[in-house]
Structure 1
Amino acid sequence: MTEDEFDLFYAAAYPRLAGQMYALTGDYAEAQDVVQRAFVRAWDRRSSVLTGDRDPEAWIRTAAHRLAMSRWRRARRWWELVRGGSVPRPAPEPSPDHVALVAALRRLPDAQRTAIVLHHLCDLSVEQIAAETGAAVGTVKARLSRGRTALAAHLVSEETDPTEEARV
């Protein structure tokens, strides 16, 4: 892949990948950063990653996801050391629906959240998700089914109770 081809690929794929990582992380700045770092890694490995039968966007998505997971682990360890300190998280003003969806997605196990985001937000097929995550097709289907059920329950439980509105 030439530099011009990489630039075109970057321009087309970056916004989509940043949006997908935002759905996984809930933090747009972090999503942008991990996608940018994944593109840097892809550029450094362009002779093997960006040529042949491989899907370069899938490789970058996987690399960005792994970078985000690594950050979460480091943040959790740091949080355990500090215990109780607050970490400021600048974020744009989200809509109430967006807040509810992100909160519900965060409550899902990682494997289910990943399957849901890749299938519903990234428009990947079950087979593509299986190839990307290394899970069997049946496992991906089970994660999607369980994830949808749990997501629906979390979204319903977060809705406002009508009896509370009547009391106000």
Structure 2
Amino acid sequence: MTEEEFDAFYHASFSRLVHQLYALTGDYSEAQDVVQEAFVRAWDRRSQFFAADAPEAWIRTVAWRLAVSRWRRARRGWDLLRRNHVEQPVEGPDPDHAALVIALRKLPEAQRQAIVLHHLCDMTVDQIAAEADVPSGTVKARLSRGRAALAKLLGEREGEAEGRRARF
């Protein structure tokens, strides 16, 4: 079997096999993965592969077995997790943290990057400049503008919260 013959077979049958396995598995991505894996295995055995009477049936069978094997492995994993799971209550997000994340999202990307790298990743201005490939002065300006914008955004939030408290 030549590479060209295998390629022709692949192109002629891949889509059809994916749709068949999709019907069997109900998961299109999984169907693509297992059909592709079956073709890889066929490629490794291509000298014997086309000696078989029905190469497409061989691919379909191998792909189906792979899907079943993956499903069993996933089910065993879930069973193991379920057996060993210890329920631990999780607290909701801190309102101040949530407000900070919302405010950071409102900043321009360059300012947000400078703020996060400097204050959360403990990077120096020079390290940020090297990573962002900009002058140190640009990083300082982004930090200054970003801090001012954050103060304004977080200050507005405080003012809104106080206004709501005063109304009730």
Between Structure 1 and Structure 2, the one with more helix by share is: 2
- What's the TM-score once normalised by structure 2's chain length? 0.48
Larger RCO, structure (CA 8 Å, separation 6 or more): 1
- What's the TM-score once normalised by structure 1's chain length? 0.48
Larger Rg belongs to: 2
